[in-house]
Amino acid sequence: MINNKIADIFQEIGDILEIQDENHFRVLSYQRAAQVIRNLADDIEVAYKKDPKRILAIRGVGKDLFSMIEEIIKTGDCKMHKDLLSHFHPGLLDMLRLRGIGPKKVKLIYMNLGIKDIKELEEAANEGKLRDLPGMGEKTEISILQSIKDLKRYSERTLMPIALNEAKVLIDYILGCKEVKKCEYAGSLRRRQETIGDIDILVSAKGKAKPIMDHFIKYPHVDEILAHGPTKSSIVLNTGIQIDLRVVEDENFGAALHYFTGSKAHNIAIRDMAKKKGLKVNEYGVFKGEKNIAGKTEEDVFKSVGLPFIIPELRENDGEIEAAKKGKLPKSIELKDIQGDLHMHTNASDGSQPLEVVIEEAFKSGYKYIAITDHSKSSHIANGLDIHRLLTQYKEIDKLNKHYKDKDFKILKGSEVDILPDGSLDYPDEILAQMDIFPASVHSRFSMSQKEMTERIIKAIQNPYVKIIGHPTGRLINKREPYEVDMEAIIDAAVACNTALELNAQPARLDLTDKYLRMAKKKGAKISIGTDSHHSSQRAYMQYGIYIARRGWLEKNDVINTYSLTKLLNHFKK
């Protein structure tokens, strides 16, 4: 998808301009546009081809940025970006990828010590050379070294939703080759792991494989061709993601899909089961002696070893095979089970659309209810609502609810209420009492000890007004570690108080994780899948939440926003 590329270019332009001390508003215009574009669910290139004017409707995109976007769509590049880069040390941009380092710090370090890349920065931090710079100290050095370690650890992996969008666009392109019969992605992406290494794609050919390979390496977004063989080729996209394409026999497509979907541990367990039946399973099929007896579909492969179909999300050899043997596989939740979204922002806080637009779009999508959950007053950066603004919003909601009265759609009054460091909430009880449902979330003091943080969240869980705990570990994948928290204790408290825990569907959050979802289910806690959307296009993130929920063995009844409105509200009448 071209959105990420455009966002990367704008982000880099903004960062370079900031390091060069350019006009603050100019810097901001690039950085904001980058953020908005990265969060769009629709492919800009597709939108542009339908009608270029649609690009001008994107928030923060004026005439200048519009013509740059046009240039990137048409040429794959942007002259201003190239010019800026040619007079700039690229290592300085790498330094920005470190958590806790912004353009101002990069500039400070570069101007004072002449440090141009991460390697030099690491040396300087180890030698204690950074601590004397203004605003820095020994602590900063330690945290910079930690960030460098984290970056090395994370840099190989792509967020699943980003990889998924890349894979979908690429598969559309591959299917454009007339020789292709079937085409699907496999691997950890198909198992919906939260981050992905390489993307594995399988195709079967109608005739010869060569034209498919030739077509594949001509994909317009290729940065590097690693291999170009008769049945296997590998490319690196300009987003840095590696793609391996294999051509397999159409009669064995299911066996290959099963094999390359993995996980390895799951495959080994299946192979062992097959062995006991005198069969051999591999990527070419299921063999009895020399004879290939199954492999056209994945269902055939499972059937040959006496199992029902197991969805890819469960294939981790973590109990799914035993469950399948006993006929006890979960009836996994699906997107169509979702009735509404209980975590949504408007431009009253840090969302980008007005209340009535957010609501109308959700109504049109077929939802039966949504909760409006703008930030509470202590979230200053997110333009949190003071009591007066909140109550004004509630009056608006009352009016709008009248409008939707006969349309089987209800707007719930909420807020994403900050859990303050002492575990109390950011609004007084008489205000909380006016809310229908709301998530309470931690947005500050992430570095508390595990004991303090656990107590803080449990205190919020015990507050009788709190129905949901938002993004319970606060992690941002590839950027911020989860805060220290005893999740088992949190889940136990949630069960005891009938408080739901959120599975936040934002691509970089996906929190709770599959492991904790499974623990929550076993203990009987309920989950709310919220998109935390800041623009209507982000309602589509619900799908990512569903994928992770399926990895966590969740069924429809484990998730409160599959309930009808009446059941949802009754559920919380304690």
Q: Under the rule (CB under 5 A), what is the footprint of Zn ion?
A: 416, 441, 532
Q: Among residues 4 and 441, whose Cβ is nearest to Zn ion?
A: 441
CB of residue 122 vs Zn ion: minimum separation in angstroms?
A: 32
CB of residue 78 vs Zn ion: minimum separation in angstroms?
A: 32
Q: Among residues 141 and 532, whose Cβ is nearest to Zn ion?
A: 532
CB of residue 443 vs Zn ion: minimum separation in angstroms?
A: 6
Q: Among residues 304 and 473, whose Cβ is nearest to Zn ion?
A: 473
Q: Please spell the DSSP secondary structure of 146-199, one letter per residue.
A: HHHHHHHHHTT-EEHHHHHHHHHHHHHHHHTSTTEEEEEE-HHHHTT-SEESSE
CB of residue 511 vs Zn ion: minimum separation in angstroms?
A: 10
Q: Among residues 285 and 507, whose Cβ is nearest to Zn ion?
A: 507
CB of residue 509 vs Zn ion: minimum separation in angstroms?
A: 9
Q: CA-CA distance, 65 to 85, in Å (whole number)?
A: 18
Q: Return the H-helix or E-strand segment holding 70.
A: helix 63-75
| Dihedral in degrees, nearest 10, Cα atoms 109, 113, 119, 121 | -40
Q: Among residues 416 and 514, whose Cβ is nearest to Zn ion?
A: 416
Q: Among residues 463 and 531, whose Cβ is nearest to Zn ion?
A: 531
Q: Among residues 320 and 416, whose Cβ is nearest to Zn ion?
A: 416
CB of residue 358 vs Zn ion: minimum separation in angstroms?
A: 13
Contact 187, 199 (CB under 8 A): yes
According to DSSP, the β-strands at 439-441 and 468-469 are parallel
With 0-12 / 13-18 / 19 or more C-beta atoms within 10 angstroms meaning exposed / middle / buried, residue 212 is buried
Q: Among residues 418 and 492, whose Cβ is nearest to Zn ion?
A: 418
Residue 136: phi and psi, rounded to 5, are -120, 165
Q: Return the H-helix or E-strand segment holding 16.
A: helix 2-19
DSSP label of 485: -
Q: Among residues 441 and 454, whose Cβ is nearest to Zn ion?
A: 441
CB of residue 532 vs Zn ion: minimum separation in angstroms?
A: 4
CB of residue 375 vs Zn ion: minimum separation in angstroms?
A: 7
Contact 533, 572 (CB under 8 A): no
| Radius of gyration over every alpha carbon of the chain, rounded to an integer in angstroms | 26
CB of residue 534 vs Zn ion: minimum separation in angstroms?
A: 8
Q: CA-CA distance, 213 to 228, in Å (whole number)?
A: 7
CB of residue 528 vs Zn ion: minimum separation in angstroms?
A: 12
| Dihedral in degrees, nearest 10, Cα atoms 463, 469, 470, 473 | 120
SS3 label, residue 369: strand
Q: Which two tokens stand for residue 268?
A: 């080994």
CB of residue 344 vs Zn ion: minimum separation in angstroms?
A: 8
Among candidate residues 380, 353, 383, the one with its CA nearest the CA of residue 60: 353
SS3 label, residue 230: coil
Q: Which residue has the tokens 């051999």?
A: 280
Q: Among residues 299 and 350, whose Cβ is nearest to Zn ion?
A: 350
With 0-12 / 13-18 / 19 or more C-beta atoms within 10 angstroms meaning exposed / middle / buried, residue 207 is exposed
CB of residue 287 vs Zn ion: minimum separation in angstroms?
A: 52
With 0-12 / 13-18 / 19 or more C-beta atoms within 10 angstroms meaning exposed / middle / buried, residue 381 is exposed
Q: CA-CA distance, 352 to 348, in Å (whole number)?
A: 8
Q: Which two tokens stand for residue 432?
A: 């909380």
Q: Among residues 262 and 439, whose Cβ is nearest to Zn ion?
A: 439
User: Between vectors from CA 94 to CA 90 and to CA 98, what angle results, nearest 5°?
Assistant: 160
Q: Among residues 298 and 341, whose Cβ is nearest to Zn ion?
A: 341
Q: CA-CA distance, 267 to 453, in Å (whole number)?
A: 40
